[in-house]
Structure 1
């Protein structure tokens, strides 16, 4: 166990994985705004209330959708370019070198490699978005490491004392940036001369496409659910540790769904089942372990003993758990290193992953076509991520019921164990 904790802790603190995770976190507000823009553009009627119809009457048929389309173009559609900057920035800051310069160099290099349109030499938008994520990650990590080595060497321009700090940083980065951009330019020229397809297409076909195909499977989803909760059981932040691996795979999958939904495809027919919103909305309700169901189970089992420790933790943790924040429960009950809670804490999300996967695969529930903040409460999140479908809410209710049923006997066992421990001490 100690060896497992040591290894997992090292992985969670690994500089490059942390930079990837923080890079995606930094871009998350733009991702959410872009996803909401598409959701509103295709929002289904609720009874007699037709949101799209009202806006069409006010602004004219399709005119207001220009705004939502523009928001998409400035957020999700350029996610790869944004991520190149944010990852490079965070990695450089971890080395205590100029993060802004590193981010700008990575972004410039990314644009240099983007294939041009054949007629007007514009940038092909497809590679600025999620299809270019792996190129963005590789470029950001490799070029920032090179930038760090050059900046920390003598290959820089030093300014005299009294010069403003911003000017000092700019000139210090000038020669390293020149070397890096020149190197990227030469690389692009050689690549174009020797290979018919672009770097983006090569990496997409060799790395990104197979990983996305693997990620959109039930075994992959089960593995993520299992590892996330095993890490949490040992007191390690499973979501953060796995975030650097999950985000590059599952964000392109939800982007494909959103793009298909935007093009008019039904939410039932969009291509991908397992996405980030799939996990957040149907598996991690109330936080990892679906602990909102655990709190409900505690209130069901412990009704008379108002001051019971479990009930007190449940009352304190309920408001945060409603917004999918469950550290008070994980560390307060505790679930961490609590053998009584290990089985349900892992079994519940694994079970809900299976139920949710088949519900979406069979078309009983629409697939996810919107990206919402992970703090969005259950019920509301189920409605939004499925494009405004009541069936998304019903699936969450079914999952909650199943989770509560699984948790109840273990809560009863925990109550008995706590009572025996208290009686033994007295």
Structure 2
């Protein structure tokens, strides 16, 4: 066991450290955080617009009018979430270099719009909203990275207009950004023109065909999902925030899949994907936090005799209901504790596999694309994430039972150790 842990530490720690400190992944993660409040807002109104049994209470016309009235809430947020993400990435990229962050956001947006064909069904001057959502997500991310780097490069080369002293700072900053923004947008205009002479015709078609489709197909499959879940657990075991590290890589894929499910859900069509952002956040992480430790707290209340374990259960129970599990991670402890390595790694992987299987067979509903706030208690979160379906709650109950069974022998083992230590301390006193 010690040798195994040493190998893991030597191999994974350097990789995790590089991922944590990578400016592109950091900007990507923070860019999604910028968009998150808007995404949650839209998701809340998707839930309200699809309350169960409402279609039976209202007339068909009344129900349609009700949904149409609430529709703009999601259309202006969830449906164009890629727009907010790319602005956030551009902003955070330039901010991380100490530059004028707001210009990083606007140059990313303008660069993306230059690349976007503004024609819908033969009508010019129209931007298709699909390009601002899941379909344009990857292009938006790459555009934000490249445009922010180009803008910063031109600023660093002092290709700026210096205004004399006494000019208002807002005016001075605007003129100093003029040349870097002009050069950056000119490059993207050239890129657009070049692609018109290729078989792809647009950059969107190129990115979607060559990069986004293969990555989405890979990320939506069970093998890649199990690897991602396992790595989350491994990083956490060594004291690194596994969720942040893995999300930095997989979030563009998971959010894209999530958006496609939401579009199908709102259209009343069959949901295309099992693995989405909410598959991970609601049915894996959203049951007590990373490692699904709410079931571990239940096991402590059922089996623990030691004062240390029972106090930990009392301390970790209330926050665990809202998916905050730091008391368990640091109090059990889980970090660098070989006694809990097996259940810590095994339980979420087993739950991910079982959940995928039950959703694929139709026993449990697929995630509807609704983004549920991560602090939503289990059972309620499963209900909301599946479009107000009680079987989403049942799926979470099954998952909690699986984690409970896997963890129970190890909780007893830890409790026996702590209980023995407490008895020895009492005997000594």
> TM-score if structure 2 supplies the norm length?
0.92
After superposition, residues 42-121 of structure 1 pair within 5 angstroms as 42-45=50-53, 50=54, 52=55, 60-117=62-119, 118-121=122-125
C-alpha RMSD of the superposition: 1.9
> Is 1:220 the counterpart of 2:231 in the alignment?
no
Question: Where does residue 392 of structure 1 map in the other structure?
Answer: 392
Among candidates 25, 29, 51, match of residue 33 of structure 2? 25
Question: Where does residue 128 of structure 1 map in the other structure?
Answer: 132
- Contact preservation (8 Å) 1:260, 1:270: yes
- 1:13-47 CA-to-partner distances (Å, cap 9, x unmatched) read 211101000101110111122233333333322xx
> Is 1:193 the counterpart of 2:197 in the alignment?
yes
Residue 241 (structure 1) shift:
0.7
- Helix, strand or coil for the counterpart of 1:135? helix
- Helix, strand or coil for the counterpart of 1:37? helix
> Is 1:238 the counterpart of 2:239 in the alignment?
no
- 1:329-351 CA-to-partner distances (Å, cap 9, x unmatched) read 11122100011111111111011
Q: Distance in 2 between matches of 1:325 and 1:423?
A: 31
Structure 1: unaligned runs, 5 residues or longer: none
Question: Where does residue 264 of structure 2 map in the other structure?
Answer: 260
- 1:367-415 CA-to-partner distances (Å, cap 9, x unmatched) read 1102211111101011111111111111111111111111111011112
Question: Where does residue 325 of structure 1 map in the other structure?
Answer: 324
- Contact preservation (8 Å) 2:200, 2:206: no
Q: Distance in 2 between matches of 1:164 and 1:400?
A: 60
Q: Distance in 2 between matches of 1:286 and 1:31?
A: 22
- Contact preservation (8 Å) 1:56, 1:63: no
- Helix, strand or coil for the counterpart of 2:167? coil
Q: Distance in 1 between matches of 2:374 and 2:106?
A: 29
Q: Distance in 2 between matches of 1:242 and 1:375?
A: 19
- 1:207-244 CA-to-partner distances (Å, cap 9, x unmatched) read 11111111111111111110000000000000111111
Q: Distance in 2 between matches of 1:61 and 1:273?
A: 28
Q: Distance in 1 between matches of 2:419 and 2:90?
A: 53
Question: Would the alpha carbon gap of residues 315 and 98 (structure 1) be closer, same or farther in structure 2, given more than 3 Å must change?
Answer: same
> Is 1:402 the counterpart of 2:410 in the alignment?
no
Q: Distance in 2 between matches of 1:253 and 1:65?
A: 23
After superposition, residues 375-390 of structure 1 pair within 5 angstroms as 375-390=375-390
Question: Would the alpha carbon gap of residues 65 and 423 (structure 1) be closer, same or farther in structure 2, given more than 3 Å must change?
Answer: closer
- Contact preservation (8 Å) 1:76, 1:130: no
Residue 2 (structure 1) shift:
4.4
- Contact preservation (8 Å) 2:88, 2:105: yes
- Contact preservation (8 Å) 2:308, 2:418: no
Residue 420 (structure 1) shift:
4.8
Question: Where does residue 283 of structure 1 map in the other structure?
Answer: 284
Q: Distance in 2 between matches of 1:63 and 1:344?
A: 50
- Helix, strand or coil for the counterpart of 1:270? coil
Residue 149 (structure 1) shift:
1.4
> Is 1:140 the counterpart of 2:141 in the alignment?
no
> Is 1:415 the counterpart of 2:415 in the alignment?
yes
- Helix, strand or coil for the counterpart of 1:388? coil
Q: Distance in 2 between matches of 1:111 and 1:55?
A: 41
Residue 145 (structure 1) shift:
1.0
- Contact preservation (8 Å) 1:81, 1:111: no
> TM-score if structure 1 supplies the norm length?
0.92
- Contact preservation (8 Å) 2:226, 2:352: yes
- Helix, strand or coil for the counterpart of 1:274? coil
- Contact preservation (8 Å) 1:55, 1:64: no
Q: Which moved more, 1:199-208 or 1:110-119?
A: 110-119
Question: Where does residue 315 of structure 1 map in the other structure?
Answer: 314
- Contact preservation (8 Å) 1:84, 1:103: yes
> Is 1:40 the counterpart of 2:48 in the alignment?
yes
Question: Where does residue 155 of structure 1 map in the other structure?
Answer: 159
- Contact preservation (8 Å) 2:82, 2:134: yes
Work out the number of aligned pairs and report it. Answer: 414
Question: Where does residue 339 of structure 2 map in the other structure?
Answer: 340
- Contact preservation (8 Å) 2:233, 2:345: yes
